[in-house]
């Protein structure tokens, strides 16, 4: 146990921990599966090398490379992080809304294999398969890199940088922005429908993780002074994935633990395996890879949450009142008291005046807020929706009925932007929104719910509600970076609104349960409350009462009626005709992709074609 | 011109190997919904098994049959022992891909642990060369092309004219609906793994014949060609995989003749990324 051994161990641990933190931020927190993660560490390593090295002519031509700028510390490290981030940009086109996550992961994996192949074979760029060596260490002109003082200092700096990276990713993850990332991880289509820009969130994570990976690569080459394609085969990414999965995806301390257990641990354990001439060559390294594969599969089966599972974010009732700490400057008074006040205030906080005005004129005379003109949708050769035109007027609770396969859910999805139209136009508040993506429509107040359970499973009920809140100052990368002091006021207001809503729907006791642990009916409630938290002007509900106890369904109906009286507009798909009778006016009847009739439920019952298509069945 | 024709010859052989591999891979994904990245590892395990049989003094074509049977059985086991239990637990597609990547390491490096890290080749006669126009092909290469054509025809007959093929297509389109229509989907899925596993073993052996010498990691790069052919034709589309295999096979070998051979995979890679970015359902797939 000499000091060289310990220094080596500590530096590798710090570098691997940094890489795992970056990967965990992408994979564990945001659900972006980057199978090409090692590319970004490699890019950082090469960048730091060519920034620090002298021109290639200085070393007698035994290695060739581009650059060679001989720049002083810490520019190579900064450059490594910057390039690691920049090189992520071309990959953002893979992680948008269109491509399945596993396909994008395959694309990144293939890229990693190919880039390694290219760098290996193209010598003028980065000296090919031999790689770069004699990479200058930081400040080696001023100090003696061989001295133990220098080595210990470098180690300490690496550990400090790792700690800074930890604080950085924790700051992102524990902010409202981090909550949006976790929501996207749990269900990206739903996050999209609540106004989250998936492309921007995923791109930000690719760049953030890439910069962290690049920095880790830069630090590593400064210590080992060589860097070659053999150090960053595609399988190294798998090792980091194994570390994150074993440590605990979504938990940054788990990522650090995983880094110590897997990459560092494997390196150390194999050191103690006696080398014997009787063993075939390659046996031990081969078995190491087999062991990594086994660890991944076994952990995913036995303990998928990892050794240190993702922490539950408990928000206690009344926690909205944040006592100013001694260090913090006085905070703006969180607007808690008004919202926490009894009943009359609560409905307003659920549907603020800014979004809606109470309405008094009869339904038929009110302004049109949502209009479909000749909208159609084809799947393969099937016309699921065939030239539908209808209008929804402000403050109404419009019902949409029809037999199975009538195209109701498809229509709803097109109105919300979850599905694109095959033809026709959609107007929302007089504006053509036909080609506006779902998240933009949600931000304009056109919010939908889903027919199938769509809660964010690994977020608590409270977090599910908070995710939907628009305009939280902390719900952006910059806001998250500005820190809790910047967004605490908005957060407190949102918590107060959520608490009022939970109380109103009788779920306040479950605020801190994971949404994935609730019963079916409770999940529907969470979904409706979450949609209301998004401050909708028009709410599109897809069978909100399905699987809900009749008493509760009635209560939901009454709540919706009172929200409509305050100016909210609701379009609701529902099969339960009793609900339609009681709450909805007007009702639109669809069959086989087209609108059959429109009117009050009583009128529809008197029309034979509607009765034939639907009511009798 | 001779370079061009020679590269077309190589391209045809590569395309043939690729077609067998890609049909197996794409059917596997389409019907069972597992993007099985361990496919390349199973291929090379089959190639090794044929090598072991070959070393025992038997003809390589016997080794080929052994590899087909073993890979078929192995794939059924891989599914029933690993993938199906994970799917039953509701594992997400991304978890399944990570599991398959773990299985890749286990199978590929397990093979390497047993076989050692050195390259090996089959003991076999290449047979007399055949000339047609400017093309020169060995008998073995012709047999490989012939086998591939047989596999394509067989796939066509299977999917169009047999009950099993129709059941496979129904299961691929909508598993729940297929089950509700009385199709025994779990049996269809097991049979699919058996068939595609057999194709995987066949592909492994003819890949090794074509490559000349191989080691346990040889299919790492070939998997990229398989993925490129599969995604080019549209994931899950057997006919798309055939088309993709021909395009990718010819494109890589012809580009190898004019650029450096070490960059021949770049064509496949660019094609794959473009398809993923622009048209994830592939050339023959339905529009998203």
Q: Say how far apart CA A163 and CA A147 lie, in whole Å.
A: 25
Q: Say how far apart CA A431 and CA A427 lie, in whole Å.
A: 5
Query: What pLDDT score was predicted for residue A270?
Result: 75
Q: Determine the average pLDDT of the residues in A578-591.
A: 86
Q: Say how far apart CA B242 and CA B229 lie, in whole Å.
A: 8
Q: Is B134 on the interface with A (CB under 8 A)?
A: no
Q: Which residues contact A583 (CB under 8 A, 6 or more apart)?
A: A397, A399, A557, A558, A560, A561
pLDDT band at A3 (very low <50, low <70, confident <90, very high): confident
Q: For A420, what's the count of Cα atoms within 13 Å in the CB-facing half-sphere? A: 8
Query: What pLDDT score was predicted for residue A359?
Result: 60
Query: Minimal Cα–Cα distance from A127 to chain B, Å?
Result: 16
A238–B101 C-beta distance less than 8 A = yes
Which has more pLDDT, A451 or A369?
A369
Write out the two tokens for A331: 């905070």
pLDDT band at A574 (very low <50, low <70, confident <90, very high): confident
> Which DSSP helix (H) or strand (E) runs through B225?
helix B219-233
Adjacent-strand bridge partners of A37: none
**Whether the complex's predicted ipTM surpasses the cut of 0.95:** no
Q: Residue A107: closest CA among chain B residues belongs to which residue?
A: B273
B103–A293 C-beta distance less than 8 A = yes
Nearest to B205 by CA among B111, B68, B108, B76: B68
Looking at beta carbons, which residues of chain A come within 8 Å of B95?
300, 304
B276–A103 C-beta distance less than 8 A = yes
Adjacent-strand bridge partners of B129: B138
Query: Minimal Cα–Cα distance from A289 to chain B, Å?
Result: 6
**Under 8 Å between Cβ of B247 and B14:** no
Q: Is A452 on the interface with B (CB under 8 A)?
A: no
Query: What pLDDT score was predicted for residue A87?
Result: 93
User: Across the A/B interface, how many CB contacts are shorter than 8 Å?
Assistant: 133
Looking at beta carbons, which residues of chain B come within 8 Å of A292?
102, 105
Query: What pLDDT score was predicted for residue A396?
Result: 92
Q: Residue B221: closest CA among chain A residues belongs to which residue?
A: A113
Q: Determine the average pLDDT of the residues in A265-273.
A: 78
Query: What pLDDT score was predicted for residue A269?
Result: 79
Whether pLDDT at A346 is above 50: no
Residue B278, Cβ neighbours under 10 Å: how many? 9
Whether pLDDT at A319 is above 90: no
Task: Indicate the length of chain B as a whole number.
Answer: 288
Nearest to B64 by CA among B40, B46, B41: B46
Distance of CA A104 to the CA centre of its chain: 15
In angstroms, the Cα distances linking A29 to A172, A174, A260 are 10, 10, 20
Looking at beta carbons, which residues of chain B come within 8 Å of A304?
95
Max CA distance (Å), chain A:
95
For the beta sheet containing A446-448, the strands, ordered from the edge strand earlier in sequence to the opposite edge, are A446-448, A538-542, A569-573, A397-401, A587-591, A594-599
Query: What pLDDT score was predicted for residue A398?
Result: 93
Nearest to A211 by CA among A18, A50, A370: A18
A101–B227 C-beta distance less than 8 A = no
B106–A33 C-beta distance less than 8 A = no
Q: For A495, what's the count of Cα atoms within 13 Å in the CB-facing half-sphere? A: 23
Q: Which member of A118, A282, A290 has the closest CB to residue B105? A: A290
Q: Say how far apart CA B239 and CA B224 lie, in whole Å.
A: 19
Listing DSSP states for A431-442 in one string gives: EE-TTS-HHHHH
Whether pLDDT at A575 is above 60: yes
Query: What pLDDT score was predicted for residue A532?
Result: 93
Q: What is the SS3 assignment for A455?
A: coil
Query: What pLDDT score was predicted for residue A598?
Result: 86
pLDDT band at A512 (very low <50, low <70, confident <90, very high): very high
What does the pLDDT look like over A67-96, one tens digit per residue?
A: 888 899 899 999 999 999 999 998 888 876
A114–B269 C-beta distance less than 8 A = yes
- List the single range of A73-77, A349-353, A522-526, A611-615 with lowest mean pLDDT: A349-353
Nearest to A259 by CA among A69, A96, A21: A21
Listing DSSP states for A149-164 in one string gives: HHHHHHHHHHHHHHHH
Query: What pLDDT score was predicted for residue A498?
Result: 95
Nearest to A232 by CA among A95, A132, A94: A132
Which has more pLDDT, A353 or B19?
B19
Query: Minimal Cα–Cα distance from A265 to chain B, Å?
Result: 18
Write out the two tokens for A507: 């779920």
Whether pLDDT at A327 is above 50: no
Looking at beta carbons, which residues of chain B come within 8 Å of A33?
94, 97-98
Residue B209, Cβ neighbours under 10 Å: how many? 24
A114–B105 C-beta distance less than 8 A = no
Query: Minimal Cα–Cα distance from A425 to chain B, Å?
Result: 20
**Under 8 Å between Cβ of A539 and A532:** yes
Whether pLDDT at A6 is above 80: yes
Start-end of H helices in A33-73: 37-52
Whether pLDDT at A345 is above 50: no
Q: Is B181 on the interface with A (CB under 8 A)?
A: no
Write out the two tokens for A495: 């918590």
Residues 216-275 of A with CB under 8 A from B: 234-235, 238, 241-242, 245
Which has more pLDDT, A184 or B136?
A184
What sign does the dihedral A508-A514-A520-A524 (CA atoms) show? positive
Q: Say how far apart CA A466 and CA A472 lie, in whole Å.
A: 9
Distance of CA A601 to the CA centre of its chain: 42
Which has more pLDDT, B127 or A496?
A496
Whether pLDDT at A617 is above 80: no
B110–A286 C-beta distance less than 8 A = yes
A33–B94 C-beta distance less than 8 A = yes
Residues 256-275 of B with CB under 8 A from A: 260, 262-263, 265-266, 269, 272-273
> Strand pairing of A446-448 and A594-599?
unpaired
In angstroms, the Cα distances linking A360 to A168, A349, A364, A563, A569 are 52, 21, 11, 13, 13
Q: Determine the average pLDDT of the residues in A436-464.
A: 92
B116–A113 C-beta distance less than 8 A = no
B103–A33 C-beta distance less than 8 A = no
Whether pLDDT at A231 is above 60: yes
Whether pLDDT at A341 is above 60: no
In angstroms, the Cα distances linking B90 to A426, B94, B100, B252 are 36, 11, 15, 39
Q: Say how far apart CA A319 and CA A512 lie, in whole Å.
A: 12
A107–B273 C-beta distance less than 8 A = yes
Q: Is A119 on the interface with B (CB under 8 A)?
A: no
Query: What pLDDT score was predicted for residue A415?
Result: 95
Q: Which member of A235, A242, A281 has the closest CB to residue B116? A: A281
**Under 8 Å between Cβ of A132 and A46:** yes
Query: What pLDDT score was predicted for residue B174?
Result: 86
Query: What pLDDT score was predicted for residue A481?
Result: 95
Q: Is A4 on the interface with B (CB under 8 A)?
A: no
Query: Minimal Cα–Cα distance from B84 to chain A, Å?
Result: 12
Segments of chain B with pLDDT less than 70: 1, 284-288
A234–B93 C-beta distance less than 8 A = no
What does the pLDDT look like over B206-241, one tens digit per residue?
A: 999 998 899 998 998 899 899 999 988 888 889 999
Chain position carrying tokens 């591999």: B21
**Under 8 Å between Cβ of A295 and A234:** no
A104–B276 C-beta distance less than 8 A = yes
pLDDT band at A403 (very low <50, low <70, confident <90, very high): confident
Which of B109, B222, B226 to substitute to test the interface with A, most A CBs within 10 Å? B109
Q: Which member of A106, A283, A300 has the closest CB to residue B227? A: A106
Rg of chain A's alpha carbons, rounded to an integer? 29
Burial tier of B69 (Cβ tally within 10 Å: 0-12, 13-18, 19+): middle
Looking at beta carbons, which residues of chain B come within 8 Å of A109?
37, 101
Whether pLDDT at A539 is above 90: yes
Listing DSSP states for A204-270 in one string gives: HHHHHHHHHHHHHHHHHHHHH--B-GGGG-HHHHHHHHHHHHHH-TT-HHHHHHHHIIIIIHHHHHH
Q: How many helices (H) and strands (E) would you count in chain A?
A: 25, 10
Nearest to B273 by CA among A109, A229, A39: A109
Query: What pLDDT score was predicted for residue A570?
Result: 94
Q: Determine the average pLDDT of the residues in A5-21.
A: 94
B117–A107 C-beta distance less than 8 A = no
Of chain A, the percentage scoring pLDDT greater than 70 comes to 90
**pTM of the shown model:** 0.90
Q: Say how far apart CA B76 and CA B195 lie, in whole Å.
A: 9
pLDDT band at A515 (very low <50, low <70, confident <90, very high): very high
Chain position carrying tokens 């038997």: B58
Q: Is A444 on the interface with B (CB under 8 A)?
A: no
B105–A238 C-beta distance less than 8 A = yes
Rg of chain B's alpha carbons, rounded to an integer? 18
Q: Say how far apart CA A446 and CA A418 lie, in whole Å.
A: 12
A99–B221 C-beta distance less than 8 A = no
| N-term to C-term CA, chain A | 81
In angstroms, the Cα distances linking A422 to A379, A408, A435, A447, A506 are 9, 15, 11, 21, 41
pLDDT band at A348 (very low <50, low <70, confident <90, very high): very low
Q: What is the SS3 assignment for A63?
A: coil
Q: Which member of A99, A121, A286 has the closest CB to residue B276? A: A99
Q: Which member of A282, A294, A300 has the closest CB to residue B95? A: A300
A117–B98 C-beta distance less than 8 A = no
What does the pLDDT look like over A105-137, one tens digit per residue?
A: 888 988 898 899 889 988 888 988 889 988 999
Residues 63-122 of B with CB under 8 A from A: 82, 85-86, 91, 93-99, 101-106, 108-110, 112-113, 116-117
Task: Indicate the length of chain A as a whole number.
Answer: 617
Distance of CA B263 to the CA centre of its chain: 21
Q: Residue A234: closest CA among chain B residues belongs to which residue?
A: B220
> Which DSSP helix (H) or strand (E) runs through A166?
helix A148-173
Q: Which member of A105, A241, A286 has the closest CB to residue B113? A: A286
């Amino acid at each position: 146990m000499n000091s060289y051994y310990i220094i080596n161990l500590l530096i590798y641990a710090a570098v691997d921990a940094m890489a795992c933190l970056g990967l965990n931020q992408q994979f564990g927190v945001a659900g972006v599966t980057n199978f090409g993660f090692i590319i970004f560490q490699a890019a950082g390593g090469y960048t730091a090398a060519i920034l620090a090295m002298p021109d290639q002519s200085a070393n007698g031509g035994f290695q060739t490379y581009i650059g060679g700028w001989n720049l002083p510390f810490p520019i190579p490290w900064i450059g490594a992080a910057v390039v690691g981030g920049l090189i992520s940009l071309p990959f953002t086109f893979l992680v948008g809304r269109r491509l399945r996550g596993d396909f994008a992961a395959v694309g990144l994996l293939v890229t990693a294999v190919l880039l390694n192949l290219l760098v290996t074979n193209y010598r003028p760029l980065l000296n090919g398969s031999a790689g770069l060596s004699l990479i200058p260490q930081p400040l080696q002109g001023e100090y003696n890199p061989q001295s133990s003082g220098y080595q210990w200092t470098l180690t300490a700096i690496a550990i400090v940088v790792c700690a800074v990276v930890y604080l950085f990713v924790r700051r992102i993850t524990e902010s409202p922005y981090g909550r949006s990332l976790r929501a996207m991880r749990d269900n990206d289509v739903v996050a999209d429908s609540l106004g989250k820009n998936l492309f921007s969130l995923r791109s930000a994570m690719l760049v953030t993780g890439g910069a962290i990976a690049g920095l880790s690569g830069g630090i590593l080459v400064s210590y080992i002074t060589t860097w070659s394609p053999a150090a960053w085969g595609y399988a190294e990414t798998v090792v980091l994935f194994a570390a994150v999965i074993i440590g605990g995806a979504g938990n940054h301390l788990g990522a650090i633990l995983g880094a110590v257990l897997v990459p560092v641990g494997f390196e150390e354990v194999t050191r103690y395996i006696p080398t014997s001439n009787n063993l075939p060559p390659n046996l031990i390294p081969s078995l190491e890879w087999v062991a990594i594969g086994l660890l991944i599969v076994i952990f995913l089966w036995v303990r998928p949450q990892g050794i240190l599972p993702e922490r539950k974010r408990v928000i206690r009732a009344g926690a909205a009142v944040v006592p100013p700490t001694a260090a913090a400057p006085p905070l703006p008074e969180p607007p808690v008291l008004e919202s926490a006040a009894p009943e009359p205030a609560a409905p307003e906080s659920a549907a603020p005046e800014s979004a809606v005005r109470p309405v008094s004129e009869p339904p038929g005379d009110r302004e049109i807020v949502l209009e479909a003109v000749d909208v159609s949708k084809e799947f393969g050769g099937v016309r699921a929706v065939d030239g539908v035109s209808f209008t929804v007027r402000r403050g109404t609770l419009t019902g949409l009925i029809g037999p199975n396969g009538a195209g109701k859910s498809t229509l709803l999805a097109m109105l919300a932007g979850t599905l694109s139209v095959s033809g026709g136009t959609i107007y929302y508040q007089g504006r053509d929104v036909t080609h506006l993506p779902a998240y933009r429509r949600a931000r304009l107040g056109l919010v939908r719910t889903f027919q199938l359970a769509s809660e964010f499973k690994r977020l608590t009920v409270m977090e599910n509600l908070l995710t939907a809140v628009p305009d939280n100052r902390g719900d952006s990368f910059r806001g998250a970076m500005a820190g809790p002091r910047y967004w605490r006021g908005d957060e407190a207001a949102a918590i107060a609104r959520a608490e009022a809503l939970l109380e109103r729907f009788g779920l306040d006791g479950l605020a801190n349960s994971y949404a994935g642990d609730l019963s079916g009916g409770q999940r529907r409630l969470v979904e409706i409350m979450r949609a209301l938290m998004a401050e909708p002007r028009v709410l599109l509900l897809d069978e909100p009462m399905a699987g809900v106890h009749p008493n509760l369904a009635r209560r939901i109906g009454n709540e919706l009626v009172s929200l409509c009286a305050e100016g909210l507009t609701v379009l609701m798909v529902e099969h339960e005709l009793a609900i339609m009778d009681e709450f909805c006016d007007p009702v639109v009847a669809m069959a086989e992709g087209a609108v059959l009739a429109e009117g009050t439920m009583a009128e529809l019952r008197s029309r034979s074609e509607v009765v034939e298509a639907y009511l009798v069945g | 011109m001779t370079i061009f024709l020679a590269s077309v010859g190589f391209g045809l052989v590569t395309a043939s190997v690729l077609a067998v591999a890609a049909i197996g891979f794409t059917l596997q994904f389409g019907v069972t919904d597992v993007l099985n990245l361990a496919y390349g590892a199973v291929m090379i395990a089959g190639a090794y098994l044929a090598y072991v049989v070959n070393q025992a003094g038997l003809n390589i074509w016997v080794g080929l049959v052994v590899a087909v049977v073993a890979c078929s059985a192995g794939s059924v086991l891989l599914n029933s022992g690993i993938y199906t239990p994970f799917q039953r637990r509701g594992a997400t597609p991304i978890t399944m891909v990570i599991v398959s990547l773990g299985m890749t390491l286990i199978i590929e490096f397990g093979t390497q642990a047993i076989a050692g890290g050195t390259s090996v080749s089959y003991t076999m006669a290449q047979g007399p060369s055949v000339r047609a126009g400017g093309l020169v092909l060995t008998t073995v290469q012709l047999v490989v092309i012939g086998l591939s054509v047989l596999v394509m025809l067989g796939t066509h007959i299977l999917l169009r004219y047999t009950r099993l093929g129709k059941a496979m297509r129904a299961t691929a389109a909508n598993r729940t609906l297929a089950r509700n229509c009385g199709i025994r989907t779990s049996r269809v899925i097991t049979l699919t793994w058996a068939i595609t596993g057999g194709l995987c073993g066949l592909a492994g052996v003819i890949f090794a014949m074509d490559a000349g010498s191989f080691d346990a990691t040889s299919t790492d790069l070939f998997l990229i060609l398989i993925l490129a052919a599969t995604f080019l034709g549209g994931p899950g589309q057997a006919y798309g995989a055939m088309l993709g295999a021909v395009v990718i096979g010819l494109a890589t070998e012809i580009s190898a003749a004019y650029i450096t051979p070490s960059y021949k995979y770049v064509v496949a890679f660019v094609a794959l990324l473009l398809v993923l970015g622009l048209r994830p359902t592939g050339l023959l797939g339905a529009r998203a």
